[in-house]
Structures are given as structure tokens and as C-alpha cells.
Structure 1
Amino acid sequence: MTTRSEEPGEPRVPLPALLTQAKDLTIEQLHRRLDEEGFQGIRFRHGSVFRFVGPEGSRLTALAEASGFSKQAIGEAVDELERLGYAERTADPDDRRAKIIRLTKRGVEGQLAGARILKDIERMWARHLGQDQIALLRRALEEIIARHGE
């Protein structure tokens, strides 16, 4: 996987491909460090739960909507997180037919560890590239996201 500019006249790696490579490297480092810290089994697909579950829990449909994944895919991720001890389903007090997905104490610890690790990765980038470059990158990406769909 190359990320450097090619020789003159050679095609450059498209920017979206570079962003994907940076994301993949970040996720790989995140999961390696989570595993090293004792949070075994957490994978990329579980981010659809960890990122979007509310502090009081969330319905499966809300997680699917927020993440952009199907209810079936979210249900499978929740099943895996339950088996790993990171999540649980409880009855919804407003609708006994529905379930609320909550992180267990261990799940909250993993969620906090993941957030800390991602901040560590960003600080490492800032040490390598400079805080100004990271701030500029952040603003540019936020602008791209804000203009999505225009």
C-alpha cells in the first residue's frame, strides 16, 4: 500500500483512498491496543454500537438509523457484544415488546478506553505533523462532511 506521491507523470493515489488507508490504519491500531488492554474481541463492526448507544441505552432501530446499518447487522453486532460481555438487552420500560441495548460496566470501560486510544492516536499525529496541520486537517474534513449531499 503506497501513500507517497508518485514520480512525475505517474498517477497519484486518490485522496479518498488515502483517507480510507488512514482510517484502516487507525482502526487496526485501536483494536490492537484495546486487545492489549484486555478488551478482547472488539471489532470494527462493533463500533456501530459503541459509537451510537446512549448512556441510558438505545433501541436497536435507533442504533441502525444512527449507524446506517441494517437492523439485522446491528442485531448481530449486539449478539456478539452480549457474548463478549460488553452489552446487554433489557426490557424497554415504555414498551415491553421492545428491548433497550445497554453497555455493561465492561462495555463502558471498553468505550472509554477506545475514546482515550483515539485521542492518543490524534496526539501522536500532532507530534509528527504539528498541531496546526492536524487542526487544518480537522477543519477540512469537517467541511467535507458538512457539505456532503450538496
Structure 2
Amino acid sequence: MSAPEGAADAVPGPPLPSLLTGVKDRTSRLLHERMADEGFGDLRYKHGEIFRLIDDEGSRLTDLADRSGVTKQGVGEMIGELEQLGCLERVPAPDDRRAKIIRLTARGRAGRLAAARILGDIERDWVLRFGRDRVIALRHVLEGVVSES
């Protein structure tokens, strides 16, 4: 089935995926600049990909690997780095002393809170710049795109 006539050029400009990548890159750069200002300059983008997935009560490495789509070895390396940075700790699982639970330390919780606050600040700036209704509409469209996958 072919697209309706004119559908391919209905919205001029660069491809939306390119714009979305630009938004992600800019937001990440702003986040990490502000995180550095607050004493978390040692945290990197790749850390956030695992950091944000850790449950409040802690998570198993295998669960983090499943959620992130990263191999257990890759997740283990990032956990090791975050452990060295004082953001995570490994503790025995209550139901299986051989297994380990990865959980946030006080520094890790502070970093997670700082990141959430900074991302909220960035979004509030968008509301001021572009208007609340437009940001809400953007959110709805993006949530719809993400929920399709």
C-alpha cells in the first residue's frame, strides 16, 4: 500500500529521528554540566543507563541486564565503576546469600535526586520557552511513539 499523495513531504525539515537525537544529546550535555556543578562530574551518560533502572530497594544484576538490554558483563562493568565512585554497593540478597543485590548508596541517591531535579528544570525551561500546551502535546506524541515499540 502506498502512502497518500503528499504524505512524504507533509512536514518539511530534517527527519524527526535526527531532531530527537539532537534533543537527547543537548539534554544530556546540559544534565551532565549541571551534575558536574553539583559534585557529580564523575558520572557519565552510560552510567545513567543503568543507574536509573535500579529499584529503590535494590536490583539483581540479571534484572538490570534484562531491563537495559546490555549484557550481564557490560552491566557488571558499569556497576563496578559506579561502586568505585561510591554510588552503588552490592549486598547479599535476603533470599539467597550467594546472590547480590545492587543498591544505591547515599551518594547514589543524592545523584539520582539531583538528576531528576535538573531534568525537571530543563523541562520547566521548555515550558517557559515554548508554552505548556506545546510541551504537553510533545509529551503525548512521544509517549505514543514509545508505546508502539
Secondary structure at the residue paired with 2:115? helix
Instruction: Tell me, yes or no, if structure 1 residue 75 matches structure 2 residue 107.
Output: no
1:90·1:101 contact (CA, 8 Å) conserved in 2? Answer: yes
- TM score, norm. by length of structure 1: 0.88
1:88·1:102 contact (CA, 8 Å) conserved in 2? Answer: yes
Give the whole-Å Cα distance in 2 for the aligned partners of 1:117 and 1:125. Answer: 13
- Structure 1 runs of 4+ aligned residues shifted over 2 Å read none
Secondary structure at the residue paired with 2:57? coil
1:49·1:63 contact (CA, 8 Å) conserved in 2? Answer: yes
* Matched residue type, 2:17: P
Deviations 1:88-136 (A, max 9, x none): 1111121122111011001000000000000000000111110111000
Aligned residue in 2 for 1:28: 29
Aligned residue in 2 for 1:18: 19
Secondary structure at the residue paired with 2:75? helix
Aligned residue in 2 for 1:56: 57
Aligned residue in 2 for 1:99: 100
Aligned residue in 2 for 1:142: 143
Aligned residue in 1 for 2:9: none
Of 138-147 and 11-20, deviating more is: 11-20
Shift of 1:69: 1.3
Aligned residue in 1 for 2:7: none
Count residues with an aligned counterpart.
Answer: 138
Structure 1: runs of 5 or more not aligned: 1-10
1:48·1:63 contact (CA, 8 Å) conserved in 2? Answer: no
Aligned residue in 2 for 1:7: none
CA RMSD across the alignment:
1.1
2:33·2:41 contact (CA, 8 Å) conserved in 1? Answer: no
1:30·1:118 contact (CA, 8 Å) conserved in 2? Answer: yes
* Matched residue type, 1:72: Q
* Matched residue type, 1:52: L
* Matched residue type, 2:66: E
Instruction: Tell me, yes or no, if structure 1 residue 114 matches structure 2 residue 115.
Output: yes
Structure 2: runs of 5 or more not aligned: 1-11
Percent identity between matched residues is: 54
2:88·2:102 contact (CA, 8 Å) conserved in 1? Answer: yes
Shift of 1:79: 0.6
Give the whole-Å Cα distance in 2 for the aligned partners of 1:72 and 1:28. Answer: 27
Larger relative contact order, structure 1 or 2 (CA cutoff 8 Å, min sep 6): 2
Aligned residue in 1 for 2:6: none
Aligned residue in 1 for 2:4: none
